[in-house]
Structure 1
Amino acid sequence: MASVIKIYALFLGSALLMFGGGLQGLLLSVRGAEEGFSLLALGLIGTGWSIGFVAGSLFVPLVVRKVGHIRAFSVMAAIGTITILLNLLWVNDVSWIVLRALSGFCFAGAAMIVESWLNEVADNKSRGTIFSIYVTINMAASTLGQIAMSVTGTAGFIPFVVGAISFICAVLPTALTSSPQPKPLQSAKIDIGLLYRTSPVAAIASFSVGMANGAFGTLAPVYGYEQGLDAGGIALLFAIAAILGAVAQVPFGRLSDHIDRRLVMIGLSGFAAVVGALIVIINPTAGWGMYVLFAAYGFAANPIYAVAVAHANDFAKDGEFAKIAGGMLMICGIGLAIGPAVASVIMGAWHPVGLFIVTATFHGALAGAAYLRMRVRKSVEAEERAPFQPMSDRQVTPETFVLDPRTENDDDDVPVQREAAVPEELIETVERRDDVQDKPV
């Protein structure tokens, strides 16, 4: 019973984090546009977040090893709270870029600590269920945070204070826990060469998704604002795209368990490219047409990263999934950082609709690359694949992959070949060594 209470308390902490993150991300883009920030500055705000998030994934484990989980989490939540309040006090583009990077750093660290606690209470039987519930809660809470902007609006101090309250309340489940602290956090295991050797199309997908979704997540609110939508309309626009994207993950993921996952990537990225091209051609103003096109975009674009992770895992040897997933995290993070800056320049030259030139280009490139790879390499047989797991490209940390049930066969940093026989003499030697090490001195 205590374990169940602890799990739901951690789910609550994660939900509060994601609620505040969803609200803050959308709020800064729209409020920045209202304040007259340049498109480049708005793009760099998104770049700052991604750089901070990746840096947090790399360096927060060092902080946790030094001061412990509870103290580190409290620091992350406190600094995150201060950051969003400073966004309210220092309303200028340079400050917001720097603060957004700091916010991304703290958000990554806080999320990793929650995930490490969930990983501690999960066993092999419950890991898949806990992971699925965790991902679902994150997607739902982030979407609710975006919808909240339709209630709070963007003017004045209320939306910033609501976000700050959400961040600081997220500390309560971990601060009040009486359970032992989890194992040390996992730093991102970067082996981009291994990732590319294992699955070139997964590496390409990581970068393409990062470029497209980084640009969309940061600058689509600006596009909506320029097209005449108010805060409520922009929040609804994003909520529809997010909800349809979350709903699409399960059917397309399950489909990819039975057919070549690259076919699914081709279909999704090709459709996302077509939707982006239609938005460029039509350039819809505020109305039902814009909502339909954004819903279609979210439906197609959001599941691609999770399918790419599953495809890479199909070809990974036992013990390699964490390294491959860490490589995908880094490549996607690079795309998430570059995408908003590139899109802001194109939007400045081609008007706001230039955003979808970027998304259509990278989704189209991914579809072409996946098609070419299908002509070179056969797919893994369906019965040999690890089951698909939903996830969001903008909410993944190294601890997410530790919690992922597909990591169960990973053995730290030592790869183990599939079906490799281990001599009994070696097993006995290791057991004797472990017995000696376990004896008290």
Structure 2
Amino acid sequence: MASVIKIYALFLGSALLMFGGGLQGLLLSVRGAEENFSLLALGLIGTGWSIGFVAGSLTVPLVVRKVGHIRAFSVMAAIGTITILLNLLWINDVSWIVLRALSGFCFAGAAMIVESWLNEVADNKSRGTIFSIYTTINMGASTLGQVAMSITGTAGYIPFVIGAISFICAVLPTALTSSPQPKPLKSARLDIGLLYRTSPVAAIAAFSVGMANGAFGTLAPVYGYEQGLDASGIALLFAIAAILGAVAQVPFGRLSDRIDRRIVLIGLSGFAAIVGALTTLINPSAGWLMYVLFAAYGFAANPIYAVAVAHANDFAKDGDFATIAGGMLLILGVGLALGPAVASMIMGAWSPVGLFVVTTTFHGALAGAAYLRMRVRKSVDAEGRAPFQPMSDRQITPETFVLDPRGESMEDDDIVVRHEPSVPEELIETLGSERDVQDKPV
């Protein structure tokens, strides 16, 4: 019973974290547009978040090893709360870029610690269920945070304060726990060679999704604002795209378990490219057509990364899943950082609809790469594939892949422990090896 209460408390903490993150991300884009920030500055705000998130994924495990999970989580939640309040006090583009990077750092660290606690209480039988519930809660809470902006609006202090309350309340489940400290956090490890040898399509997909969805997630609210939508309309626009994207993951994921996953990637990325091209050509003003196009984009674009992770895992050797997934995460982060900056420059030079030139280009490139790879390499038989698991490309950390049931057999293999020799080197050189010394009768 205690473990069940602990799990649901952690789910609550994660939900509060994602609610605040969803609200803050959408709020800064729209409020920044209202404050007449340049398109480049708005893009760099998204870039700052991605850089901070990747930096947090790499360095927070070191912090946790020094001060422990509970203290580290409290620090992350406190700094995250301070940053969103400083967004309110310092309304200028440079401050928001720096603060957004700090927010991404803290968000990554806090999410990793929650996931490590969930991993600690999960066993082999419950891991799949816990991972599915956790993913669903994250997607749902983030969407609710975006919808909340339709109620709070963007003016004044209320939306910032609500986000701050959500962040600081997320600390309660871990602060009040009496359970032992979880195992050390995993650091994302980048092995480009291994990832590319295992699955070139997965590496290309990680970068393409980062470029396209990073640009969309940061600057689509600005596009909606420029097209005449108010805060409520923008929140609804993103909620529809997010909900349909989450719903689409299950059927397309199950389909990819039965057929070549690259066919699914071609279909999804090709359709997302078509939607982007249509949006570029039509450039719809505020109205039903814009909602239809955004819904179609979310439906096609959101499942791509999860299918790509599953495809990479199909070809991964035993013990390599965590390293490959971590490499994909870092490549995704590079795309998420570059995408908003590139898109903002195109939007500034041409028009706001230039955003969809970026999404069309990278989704089209992914579809083409997947098609070419199908002619070079055969697919893994359906019986030999690990089952698909839904996940969001904006809400994953290295600990997510540890919690992922597909990586449970690799968890111990991912930790490399180096032991100092217990026998003097001179004696080893004389008698051959440490084992020889240990085997000699005394």
State the SS of the aligned residue for 1:408. Answer: helix
What CA distance in whole angstroms lies between the structure 1 residues aligned with 2:193 and 2:98?
A: 31
Alignment-derived partner of residue 2 in structure 1? 2
Q: Which residue of 1 aligns with 2:302?
A: 302
* Residue of structure 2 equivalent to 1:245: 245
Amino acid in the other structure paired with 2:306: A
Q: Separation in 2 of the partners of 1:58 and 1:97? A: 20
Superposed CA deviations along residues 146-167 of structure 1, whole A, max 9, x for unmatched, are 0000000000000000000000
State how far apart, in whole Å, the 2-side matches of 1:337 and 1:391 are.
Answer: 19
Aligned residue runs from structure 1 range 200-219, under 5 A: 200-219=200-219
Counterpart code for 1:239: A
Which residue number corresponds to residue 272 of structure 2?
Answer: 272
1:73-152 correspondence to structure 2 within 5 Å: 73-152=73-152
CA-to-partner distance for each residue in 1:245-285, whole Å, 9 max, x for gaps? Answer: 00000000000000000000000000000000000000000
For structure 1, list consecutive stretches of 5 or more residues without a partner in the other structure: 416-432, 437-441
Moved over 4 A (4+): none
Which residue in the other structure is 2:19 paired with?
A: 19
- Which residue of structure 1 aligns with residue 317 of structure 2? 317
SS at match of 1:389: coil
| Aligned-residue RMSD, C-alpha | 1.1
Cα shift readout 1:171-218 (whole Å, capped 9, x = no counterpart): 000000011110110111221110000000000000000000000000
**Counterparts of 1:74 and 1:364, CA distance in 2:** 43
| Partner residue, 1:196 | 196
**Aligned: 1:348 with 2:348:** yes
Runs of 5+ unmatched residues, structure 2: 417-434
Work out whether residues 198 and 316 of structure 1, in 8 Å CA contact, stay in contact via their aligned partners in 2: yes
Confirm or deny that 1:161 pairs with 2:161: yes
CA distance in 1, matches of 2:374, 2:339: 27
Q: Distance in 1 between matches of 2:333 and 2:408?
A: 25
2:43 maps to 43
The answer to whether the Cα contact below 8 Å between 1:319 and 1:414 also exists between their aligned partners in 2 is no
What does residue 171 of structure 1 align with? 171
Identity %: 90
* CA distance in structure 2 between the aligned counterparts of 1:377 and 1:408, rounded to whole angstroms: 27
Q: Distance in 2 between the 1:255 and 1:243 partners?
A: 19
- Normalised by the size of structure 2, how large is the TM-score? 0.93
Question: Helix, strand or coil for the counterpart of 2:258?
Answer: coil
Contact 1:266 1:370 in 2 (8 A): yes
Residue number in structure 1 paired with 2:233: 233
Counterpart of 2:376?
376
State whether residues 59 and 187 of structure 1, in contact with CA within 8 Å, keep that contact through their aligned partners in structure 2: yes
More deviation, 405-414/269-278:
405-414
Q: Aligned partner of 2:327: which letter?
A: G
SS in 2 for 1:322: helix
8 Å Cα contact 1:202-1:312 kept in structure 2: yes
Match of 1:144, SS state, is helix
Matched, 1:262 2:262: yes
Query: Aligned residues, how many?
Result: 417
Q: In the aligned structure 1, how far is the partner of 2:189 from the partner of 2:135?
A: 21
Q: Aligned residue for 1:439?
A: none
Secondary structure of the equivalent of 2:409? coil
Distance in 1 between the 2:108 and 2:255 partners?
31
AA paired with 1:412? D
Q: Which amino acid aligns with 1:30?
A: V
Contact 1:209–1:335 (8 Å) recurs in 2: yes
Give the counterpart letter for 1:301 in structure 2.
A
The answer for the alignment partner of 1:413 in structure 2 is 414
Aligned-partner Cα distance in 2 for 1:293–1:193? 37
* Equivalent pair of 1:77/1:167 in contact (CA under 8 Å): yes
Distance 1:344 1:190 in 2: 28
- Structure 2 residue matching 1:208: 3-state secondary structure: helix
Alignment partner, residue 426 of structure 1: none
Report the TM-score, using the length of structure 1 for normalisation: 0.94
Matched with 1:365 is: 365
Distance 1:157 1:242 in 2: 26
* Displacement of 1:349: 1.3
Secondary structure of the equivalent of 1:228? Answer: coil
Deviations 1:364-400 (A, max 9, x none): 0000000000000000000000000000011110000
> Partners in 2 of 1:413 and 1:104 — Cα distance?
25
Q: What one-letter code is carried by the residue in structure 2 that aligns with 1:96? A: W
- Assess if the C-alpha contact under 8 Å between 1:48 and 1:100 holds in 2: yes
Aligned residue in 2 for 1:61: 61
What is the CA distance between 1:414 and its match in structure 2? Answer: 7.6
Matches within 5 A, 1:380-395: 380-395=380-395
